[in-house]
Amino acid sequence: VKLGNGVEMPLLAAGSGGWNSSRAFQSFSAALKAGFTAIDTAHEYGNQEGVAKALQTVPRKSVFVETKVPGCVTDPSSLNPFRCYSATQKNLANDLHELNLSYVDLVLLHYPPAPTWIVRSCGNLTGSCEMIRSQWRAMEEFYKAGKARAIG
């Protein structure tokens, strides 16, 4: 599939939600050996050590790496609604470091900020619109710095 900025993304990826690092390593190693060309992980899964170890077994350019950052006020690292931008910057940097990569192919906002769950929309009443904009700004900077080939 071709993304809006021209980056090609495989249609099928091996995922790692709910696994510890050891299981992530075993599963991704098997998936890569079986021919998978994409992996899907997320900062909050906490298994980047295993993901990184599996990625070291193949050439970096042979695998599409997708990761995600949590919505603001949903993760212990982003509980302050006034620090969505800096929390997102920190999550992005930590994720890249823990994956032992200089860039990822795609970063997604995993889900919207917690206040949107209550009102079911992006609204000024809860501040969720500003939270999303702050997170998106951090992701755009990450992209422009060449640390992600695409964001969404």
Catalogue the active-site residues: 45
Q: How far, in Å, CA of 115 to CA of 127, rounded?
A: 8
Contact residues for 85 (Cβ-Cβ < 8 A; gap 6+): 134, 135, 137, 138
Instruction: List the beta bridge partners of residue 148.
Output: 104
Instruction: List the beta bridge partners of residue 109.
Output: 69
**DSSP codes, 114-150:** HHHHHHSS--TTTTHHHHHHHHHHHHHHHHHTTSBS-
Place of tokens 């609604």: 81
